[in-house]
Chains A and B, each alone.
Chain A
């Protein structure tokens, strides 16, 4: 029913879409899948008339349609349900549904409007979830989605696109949404479902279209494929290689922590130790104390067997302990400065003659790490705010690797970055361990913990409740230590 032919769209310097041809048949749920930046949202915005393609066409029933605004799209029966529905807070659900649809000269009649919306809700089977009189500001995220869907159905719709609809929904709200989507599909609508949650895509989609770097990486029937196949389509390689484990932990301790803030822990050279536990278990606080960012109460710390005193981040850095914090943008990056300045920040004292920073050495060092960690940036002079999350994280890593630390502490190193960049970060971590660095990782993602770590220290309420070796580690073992009564 809806199709796009040879769509290309460029946002300098990125080719967001590159000759994309896809069709979205009626009576079918087609999932649109891809990593961040793969072009999903751009495609949806073109279908919604929000962006014009550079080249290519949108076809409806085989006929090219010119979509110059969301209004055009609506006139042709194409509706996009945005991620964050626009809801007017001070008016009722009924009025919210008909906002913008009330034509000029329409006499506003509250009671009949309410009745129409009520029937509408009943027809869709949502009597229990949504009442027409509720005010916009009192709606839950799921109800907001419903209002947006009702809006979409006030005019005859042929195509409905959902842009990551479940990101703010609870589990039973997702179930209700899926029931509705199936009903709409059975009425013959073409459904486009954009998401990067694999599990739910397999629940709802009939077909899966994968975009990668603005191109169509493949279209498959959902029943004939597996999660693993789809992921490798998304990232362009098989993910079994994601955790490269060719390093061997030594028995030579890099970090020996004895009863610091009630925690004892040893990290050996060439070893990756993960701190697992629930949010609020005190993992980040422990790491920040080691990094000199929070006070250390009692106990002793040794680096390479030498006792060290840490009262300021500088003491930790000088002792060879560096810390890449949880919130990249808020705690690590100078967003208004170039990549170069961000990389050299902690080694300026090695790059100066008298007090003058040696420009050439500085750029050389930055370029060295950009190449070594494969940071995708046109030059080291590029503003770091223009890089993607994964590349920003590599810049933070570069800053600390430039100090040639003994112990690298990584707090949620892959939060908010896409699968491909994650794999690269894992390879970097493994490479550093191979070179003999000690690495302490805080992570809330269990597959990551299990894939990366040689040993896993599980924390609960500020204490280490158990240390698991590689052989004994499993999701169940970690969770029982993280939540157990001990």
Chain B
């Protein structure tokens, strides 16, 4: 089943690349593929952790705002530890932003677990709240100038073995989450919680601890995405670049094979889906489609992805006549 899904994603990706490759001969050039890769990275990080939280039967809509908050926090810390604009301590900036992100995730988890609030509502509320906090502390303006620091320059523009540094970061995070899900008892328990929370609890799994931890992971990785975003755009802005990322992340997770009810999904599928989304977005830009249409296309894709998932779960109703 999973294999079928991944193969159809690969097919769709090949189709998209072929169509745009024919429409525009620059599309398949190496430099353009690198552009696709980089465009995919930030949404990709969010999609990877979104997959983890959806597998547990939750969802996190607040990831875009969390990334924006981290972008602002990291550049402001960088400015403070330096001369008020730049030349600060990059490690402190990154560390504080990630801690703030993780704490934000814990807040989400606690609201959901102990407040017994539906995950969609809780994280929708926090989507607004974190965005507001980021705007408040930054005054709504871009903060700091990061590209005075070698580490930030490396994150934004560096490459290792010809592959951009940010793609490495995505690859490493994706691999770690993949291993967590597929090879550890933690991952097994996550699938169990999403698949049947009652059964998981009766099997002795501390569901609350898992839910809070997975939201914490989402917060930390969303912060990492925000830091990369700030480095790419040279300064941390509360909303530019991060607004709307939740839609991409959630679309990629469902397109990649996650089930809304939880208990299903894989990092491989999500990565394929996020690449497909990126290839489509850049392709539409390259051939000059009105960018407003891209929003329509993204919304439509989310609906299509969820319809496919629902159809499949419905399939199970067809049983063997006895």
A-side residues, CB < 8 A to B, are: 11, 14, 16, 36-42, 45, 51, 291, 293, 312-314, 316-318, 323, 325, 330-337, 341, 345-346, 348-349, 351-352, 355-357, 385, 399
Contacts and interface: CB of A to CB of B under 8 A. Distances in A.
Interface string B113-133: 000000000000000000000
Given A39-B322, A334-B196, A334-B263, A345 B188 contact: yes
Contacts of B183: 356-357
B202 A323 contact: yes
A346 B185 CA distance: 10
Contacts of B205: 314
A333 B199 CA distance: 6
The CB with the most chain A CB atoms within 10 A, among B186, B264, B321, is that of B321
23 contacts: A16-B320, A37-B322, A38-B322, A51-B321, A293-B201, A312-B204, A313-B201, A314-B204, A331-B196, A331-B198, A331-B199, A334-B263, A336-B259, A337-B195, A341-B192, A345-B199, A346-B204, A355-B184, A355-B185, A355-B186, A357-B184, A357-B185, A357-B188
Nearest to B205: A314
A336 B199 contact: no
Contacts of A333: 196, 199
B204 A41 contact: no
Contacts of A293: 201-202
B191 interface: yes
B311 interface: no
Given A332-B199, A351-B185, A337 B191 contact: yes
Given A313-B201, A314-B206, A349-B185, 9 more contacts: A39-B322, A313-B204, A330-B198, A332-B196, A334-B196, A335-B195, A336-B195, A341-B191, A357-B183
Interface in B121-171: none
* Chain A residues touching B, majority SS: mixed
Given A345-B192, A352-B184, A352-B185, A336 B263 contact: yes
A41 B322 contact: yes
Interface in B56-91: none
Interface string B249-271: 00000000001000110000000
Closest 10 interchain pairs by CB? A314-B204, A348-B185, A334-B195, A317-B204, A355-B184, A37-B322, A346-B203, A345-B203, A331-B198, A352-B185
Interface string B308-322: 000000001000111
B272 to A, nearest CB: 20
Contacts of A337: 191-192, 195, 263
Contact of A11 (B186, B192, B320): B320
A376 to B, nearest CB: 14
A349 B204 CA distance: 11
B321 A11 contact: yes
A410 to B, nearest CB: 13
A337 B185 CA distance: 14
Contact of B203 (A313, A318, A336): A313
A348 B322 contact: no
B52 to A, nearest CB: 15
Nearest to A341: B188
Contacts of B186: 355
A346 B201 CA distance: 10
B108 interface: no
A334 B192 contact: yes
Contacts of A334: 191-192, 195-196, 199, 263
B189 interface: yes
A325 B184 contact: no
A36 B319 CA distance: 13
A336 B200 CA distance: 13
Nearest to A312: B206
B223 to A, nearest CB: 24
Given A313-B202, A313-B203, A332-B202, A348 B195 contact: no
B299 to A, nearest CB: 28
A113 to B, nearest CB: 35
